[in-house]
Amino acid sequence: MHNGTWNKISTKCWEIRGKTLGKDRWAMGMKVLYFDDMIGAEQLAQMKQGSYLINASRGSVVDIPALVESMRSGHTAGAALDVYPTEPAANGDYFNDTLNSWGNDLRSLKNLILTPHIGGSTEEAQSAIGIEVGEALVRYINSGSTIGCVNMPEVTLRSLTLAEENHVRVIFIHSNRPGVLRQVNSILGDHNVDKQMSDSRGDVAYLMADISDVNAGDIRSLYESLEALSSKIMTRVLY
């Protein structure tokens, strides 16, 4: 990394979670503090002289030029960084000033550990990601849940059971604009809505509702009415 080479791999990298250690290291006997805003020049100055900074969360959390200046002045004794505001899209000699204007300044520091965003790059993590993504897709297909989704509103309702006959789950993804919920509820209003939840993220909104005592004709009518709305992005019915 100090030479500008980004080499992010997970092969033969393992998590310590679930492994056995011969001595108790719970919390390392340390007092833990946390801070929920960006770490910039002001925050670095408030740290004790000779402090060390570790960032393994998100690259934008730390103001890198401010950190470089604090380390050069000797106020911050050292740092370890695993994440960066802008990261290379592939392995290679890309960690330089072209990627981030402060790249060469950062790499020139000697009291600094740089790693290429490998905090989650273990063989266990790669396997777990595949399982997690697969389970998330199954939850969306089977119940419409979008919990954990990064580019959609997070909406979930408990799963329908076999005992809930003549029920339908209406899933309506639509443009986030005024008046849509009034139109949707006027369509659902002729039926018994057992549960309903909606949320929005940016220009997209997501509504999920469970409706009881409906037959095949009712379900078709609900679907066609929602599909006819100009705000519609996608309509699904689960039953």
> pLDDT per residue over 87-125, tens digit each?
999 999 999 899 999 999 999 999 999 999 987 788 888
The architecture CATH gives domain 26-114: 3-Layer(aba) Sandwich (3.40)
Given 107, 117, 167, 236, the catalytic residue: 117
- Tell me the pLDDT band of 25, cut-offs 50, 70 and 90: very low
Query: 185 is written with which tokens?
Result: 């509820």
pTM above 0.85, yes or no: no
Residue 198 burial (10 A CB sphere; 0-12, 13-18, 19+): middle
> pLDDT per residue over 131-147, tens digit each?
999 999 999 999 999 99
87 is catalytic: yes
124 is catalytic: no
Say how far apart CA 179 and CA 229 lie, in whole Å.
Answer: 11
58 is catalytic: yes
The architecture CATH gives domain 124-238: 2-Layer Sandwich (3.30)
- Tell me the pLDDT band of 10, cut-offs 50, 70 and 90: confident
Given 69, 75, 87, 139, the catalytic residue: 87
Given 2, 58, 72, 220, the catalytic residue: 58
Residues 6 or more apart whose CB falls under 8 angstroms from that of 187 comprise 222, 225, 226
User: Where exactly are the structural domains of the chain?
Assistant: 26-114, 124-238
